[in-house]
Amino acid sequence: MTSDPMTAGTPLAQSGVPAAVAVRGVTKTYGSVTALDDVDFTLRPGTVHGLVGENGSGKSTLTKIIAGVLPPDRGTVAIDGETIKHIDPRTSIQHGVRVIFQDLALFPNMTVAENLVFEGDRPLLRPISARKMRTRAREALDALELDIDPGARLGELSTAERQLVAIARTVSSDGRIVLMDEPTAALTHKEIDQLLTIIRRLSEQGLSFVFISHKLREVVSVADDVTVIRDGQVVSTGASAEYDQDRITDLMTGGTVENARRDTPAEAAEQPVVEVRGLSLATIFQDVDLAMYPGRVLGLAGLVGSGRTEIGLAIAGLVHPEKGEVRYRGEVVHNRRDNPGLQYVPEDRLTEGLFLDWSIADNIITNDLDEAVGRGRTVSTAKIAEVGSRWRDRLRIKTPSVANPASSLSGGNQQRVLLARALAPRPDVIILNNPTVGVDIGSRADIHNVIRAVAEEGTAILVISDEPAELISVCDDLVFISEGRVVDRRRADTLDEEALLDIISEGGPS
Ligand SMILES: Nc1ncnc2c1ncn2[C@@H]1O[C@H](COP(=O)(O)OP(=O)(O)OP(=O)(O)O)[C@@H](O)[C@H]1O
């Protein structure tokens, strides 16, 4: 274990003022897995604290302990200088701790105002008046200088706006210590800037934030302090000025991560496996033409909301276009859902992806049941375990046993199970929607290597992504989508990140 002797485990002291949160000597195990091992963590009041680490390093477990959702096996949690004996969610909330989970825990069918003033424990017989609710909602939105209509239904807002409503609710309900897990995963670059500005402003007003993100650039820019966890242990903690992305990456992974660019193969000579012509659906996408070739990785670049996901879904047969056609090996396909040669990996693994109660191995094998047939032509549990273990090793899924439920994995490791499931039947076309969302930097390089290796084997791959570095590093060709239309096509090796970002944000060639 590499550690940073200068700072490892050193509490960030601030003279005279008690820490907003002080975690001391916390250990937490799940069965044979030690998720946290004697962890110290100090959140100074009025600061933003970036918490970083690879997938499965223990970040979510630490936030759950501070939020009182999980009891520690050993160690203590103090809030504002008061050590809390048996921390539970109610005590943590009473002390001003609020967690903004990735799913935001808001109510899409209620208005913004109703979401803002919702109190789960308010007696039914004492409802709040509509006028009071509007006033309180307005105040909460104004406090963050947000231009959002309190009467709008939450489900109609963009993800970024919902994120901001979640923060406004936290502030208006007297939250003072805010724990945010991957808050920017679904936001555009502009929305991320807006969110980070609001977080900075609120911290200057005295709120304290724990900010978990795999996007190290954001962490370095927004945080006052940084803590790096590796395998459940704090390997470094200190002022963010002492860190840059490279140093954090080294500390997280214990070594250097190489993120190579793909050696683009020679011009695609063969026939395309998939050919898309004139694909249109209402105002969502129009006249999309593209081709996917064996052994090549095509990137679909564009802003969130540009229509790129829907185009990917239409190619996968999960959304029905109104016009145009998709050909598979020259034949027009009518029901692509029946085609095991084509696999789609969704971005949202919790709602669209995994069977969380099933074992990791069962999740992987569902797509490749032939492989599970043993002697006597019955499904063999030994074979299922064998296939699961093979994929665990190949994608470095961090688990002591593939018999464990998928719910026992950290978010980034769940992402790998989804990928394994899609790759198991050896598809000849695979569509990956944001394949490394929520995945740490070391695992991202692993997943990129797997994508390249699968392409080498002859699979045609479509990668939908909003990460310029990812598109550049893994793709051969790029198609840019803006407002549902193809606005540009480039070979990836002719662009750098900046040029790519320019095309995406300007919505076409300059
Ligand atoms: N309910 C559970 N049962 C068993 N093991 C668990 C459970 N929850 C987490 N773990 C294990 O504890 C370790 C730490 O997981 P945690 O979710 O805290 O990681 P993380 O740093 O938040 O990862 P990610 O970046 O992928 O979200 C992992 O090895 C994970 O597999």
- Ligand 1 pocket, residues with Cβ under 6 angstroms: 30, 33, 35, 53, 55-61, 398-399, 408-413, 440
Tokens of 71: 């009891």
Considering only CA atoms, which of 416, 422, 468, 407 is closest in space to residue 444? 416
For residue 490, list its beta bridge partners.
478
Considering only CA atoms, which of 177, 196, 215 is closest in space to residue 23? 177
Which ligand 1 atom sits closest to the C-alpha of 415?
26
CB-side neighbour CA atoms (13 Å) of 337: 5
Question: Which are the contacts of 200, defined by CB distance < 8 A and separation ≥ 6?
Answer: 48, 222
Reduced to 3 states (helix: H, G, I; strand: E, B; else coil), residue 123 is coil
- pTM for the predicted model, two decimal places: 0.69
Considering only CA atoms, which of 218, 208, 278 is closest in space to residue 21? 208
Question: Which are the contacts of 298, defined by CB distance < 8 A and separation ≥ 6?
Answer: 290, 292, 460, 461, 462, 463, 475, 476, 477, 478, 479
Closest C-alpha to ligand 1, atom 24: 55
- DSSP letter at 350 equals I
Question: Which are the contacts of 441, defined by CB distance < 8 A and separation ≥ 6?
Answer: 54, 214, 216, 249, 252, 253, 257
C-beta atoms surrounding 169 within 10 Å: 22
Q: Where are the alpha helices (DSSP H) in 317-408?
A: 360-365, 381-395
CB burial of residue 166 (10 Å; 0-12, 13-18, 19+) = buried
For residue 355, list its beta bridge partners.
none
How many residues in the chain? Answer: 510
For residue 49, list its beta bridge partners.
210, 225
Considering only CA atoms, which of 372, 377, 475, 474 is closest in space to residue 424? 372
Considering only CA atoms, which of 251, 254, 189, 241 is closest in space to residue 215? 189
Closest C-alpha to ligand 1, atom 6: 408
Which ligand 1 atom sits closest to the C-alpha of 57?
21
For residue 486, list its beta bridge partners.
481
Closest C-alpha to ligand 1, atom 29: 56
Considering only CA atoms, which of 257, 299, 292 is closest in space to residue 274? 292
The answer to whether 251 touches 230, Cβ cutoff 8 Å, is: yes
Task: Look at strands 274-281 and 285-292 and give their pairing.
Answer: antiparallel
Rounded to the nearest angstrom, the distance between the alpha carbon of 439 and the centre of ligand 1 is 13
Measured between its terminal Cα atoms, the distance across the chain in Å is 49
Considering only CA atoms, which of 167, 196, 161, 197 is closest in space to residue 179? 167
Rounded to the nearest angstrom, the distance between the alpha carbon of 425 and the centre of ligand 1 is 28
**Residue type for 334, please?**
H
Rounded to the nearest angstrom, the distance between the alpha carbon of 63 and the centre of ligand 1 is 11
Considering only CA atoms, which of 54, 443, 56, 51 is closest in space to residue 236? 51
User: Which ipTM was obtained for this model?
Assistant: 0.96
| Ligand 1 mutation pick, 61, 65, 219, max ligand atoms within 8 A of CB | 61
Which ligand 1 atom sits closest to the C-alpha of 36?
14
Question: Which are the contacts of 310, defined by CB distance < 8 A and separation ≥ 6?
Answer: 281, 284, 285, 319
DSSP line for 200-213: HHHHHTT-EEEEE-
Rounded to the nearest angstrom, the distance between the alpha carbon of 30 and the centre of ligand 1 is 9
Closest C-alpha to ligand 1, atom 5: 408
What is the predicted pLDDT for the residue at 122?
A: 46
The answer to whether 67 touches 78, Cβ cutoff 8 Å, is: no
- What's the CA gap between 48 and 26, in Å, rounded? 21
Q: Which residue has the tokens 């939450």?
A: 154
Low-confidence ranges of the chain (pLDDT < 70): 1-15, 101-106, 118-128, 186, 255-269, 335-340, 348-352, 507-510
The answer to whether 263 touches 449, Cβ cutoff 8 Å, is: no
Reduced to 3 states (helix: H, G, I; strand: E, B; else coil), residue 407 is helix
Q: Which residue has the tokens 């939105």?
A: 141
The answer to whether 382 touches 403, Cβ cutoff 8 Å, is: no
| Ligand 1 mutation pick, 30, 101, 182, 416, max ligand atoms within 8 A of CB | 30
- What's the CA gap between 56 and 312, in Å, rounded? 29
Closest C-alpha to ligand 1, atom 25: 55
- What's the CA gap between 495 and 484, in Å, rounded? 22
